[in-house]
Amino acid sequence: MVEATGVAWVAWLVLQVAIAAVGTWMARRYALRRELLDQPGERRSHRVPTPRGGGIGIVLSLLLSLAWLAAHPSAHASAHASMLLSTAIGVALIAAIGWLDDHRPLSPWPRLLVQAVAALALAWGIQAEGGGAGAMVLAFVAAMVLTNIWNFMDGIDGLAASQALLAAAAYGVFAGPGGVGGLAFCLAAACLGFLPFNLPQARIFLGDVGSGTLGYALAALVAWLSLESGARAPLLLLPLSAFLIDASLTLVRRAATGQRWWLPHAEHAYQYWARLRGHGRVTLAYAGWTLLACLAMLAGRTAAPAFIIIGLLVVGLAGGGAWAYLRWTSQGQEDTRE
C-alpha cells in the first residue's frame, strides 16, 4: 500500500511538470498572438522583445495540486481543508490581478488591494489551523512581502523560477510527508515544468501572473511551516535569503537616496551583475547560494535556537557584504565602459 501510494505520488508530480510545461507553451502561443511582449528598455535586462505571462502554467498546476491534496486527505494526514482553501483563494486572486496587469498595466493601488485581500485569506487559514494573532500577522506580512519581492526580482532569465524551485523543494524536505510538504513539492514540480522555456535564454517570461503567484505560494509554505516549527521557524528564511537581501538592501538604498523606490528600475545587484556577466552565470550563482542556504536550513533542524539566530546573522552579514561588493564592482565597471 505504501509503495502504491508512493508510485501514485511520483506520477502526480510528473503530471504537474507536464501541466506546467504545456500551460507555458500554450501561454507563449497566446502571448505572441495577442502581442503581449516585454520590450527592451533601460529598466529591463533583456535585449529582445519577449512574450510574458508564462507563469499561468504554474498557476494551473498549483490549483490542480491544491484540489488533488484536498481530495486525498488519507494519503496526506496533515492536509486540512482551511489550509488548502485559503491558499487556493489567495493564489487565484494574485494570479487574476497579475493576469490583468500582464494585459494592461495597472496602477499599484488595485494590485496592492487585491494582494491585501489574498494575504488576509492566508491569515484566516492560519487562524483556522490554530494559529494565534502573531502567526496571522506573520502570514499577512509574508504574503505581502514575498508576492512583491518575487515580482521585483523577476528580471533575468531563469532567476525567479529557479529560486522558487529550490526553496519549495527544501521546504518539502523540511516538512516531511503531509499536506504542507506535498504542496511544496507540487510547487517545485510546476517550476520545473516552466524553466525549460525560461533557460538558457527566455522564450517567455513569468509575467506578473507567475511571479506574484510564486511569492504568495512560498509565503503560504512559510506561514504553515512556522506553525509546526516553533523556535526553529527562523530557519525558514534561509532559502529566501538571496532575494530578501538583494531586494531589501536595494529598496533601502533607493529610498535613502531620494529615489521613487516604488517605480520599476534595474538597480538590483543581480541586474548590475547580469549586464556585465550575462543572465546564466548570475542565475547559477544565486542558485548556488540558495542551495547552500537550503542545506543549512535542513542541517539546522537539530540546532539550538541560539545557534540558529547566530547563523542567520552570519548569513545576513555575508549576503549584505556580497550585495555591496557586487553593486560596487559592477556599477564601477559599467561606469568605466560608458
Q: What is the pLDDT of residues 62-76, one digit of tens each?
A: 999 999 888 876 544
- Whose CA is closest to 90, among 136, 140, 51? 140
Domain count of the chain? Answer: 1
Phi, psi values for residue 240, rounded to 5°: -95, 0
> What was the pLDDT predicted at 331?
67
Assigned C-alpha cell, 238: 534561509
Q: State the residue range of the domain holding 273.
A: 2-337
Query: How confident is the model over 101-119, as a mean pLDDT?
Result: 95
Which of these ranges, 70-84, 92-106, 127-141, has the smallest mean pLDDT?
70-84
**Using one digit for the tens of pLDDT, what is the confidence trace for 291-307?**
999 999 999 988 888 88
pLDDT, residue 335, reads 54
Instruction: Tell me if residue 50 falls in helix, strand or coil.
Output: strand
Q: What is the pLDDT of residue 337?
A: 53
* pLDDT value, residue 142: 98
pLDDT of 143 strictly over 90: yes
Task: State the DSSP code for 106.
Answer: P
pLDDT of residue 327: 82
Mean of pLDDT values over 3-20: 84
The whole-number average pLDDT for the span 269-294 is 92
The C-alpha cell 547566530 sits at: 310
Which pLDDT score is estimated for 332?
61
Give me the helices (H) in 132-240, please: 133-152, 159-175, 179-194, 207-229
Which of 217, 222, 240 lies closest to 118 in space, CA to CA?
217
**pLDDT over threshold 60, residue 111:** yes
Average pLDDT of span 221-237:
91
Take residue 279 and report the three cell numbers written for it: 543572465
Query: Residues 6 or more apart from 8 whose CB is under 8 A from it?
Result: 75
pLDDT tens-digit readout, 170-209: 999 999 877 789 899 999 999 999 999 998 889 999 999 9
Mean pLDDT of all residues belonging to the chain: 90
pLDDT exceeds 90 at position 336: no
Task: Calculate the alpha carbon distances from 49 to 3, 103, 205, 304 in Å.
Answer: 48, 15, 11, 50
Q: At 273, which helix (H) or strand (E)?
A: helix 269-277
How far is it, in rounded angstroms, from Cα 125 to Cα 89? 10
**CA–CA dist 88, 59 (Å, integer):** 10
Assigned C-alpha cell, 245: 537581501
Average pLDDT over residues 69-89: 74
pTM value is: 0.93
250 to 83, 152, 247, 255, 266: CA distances (angstroms): 33, 10, 5, 9, 10
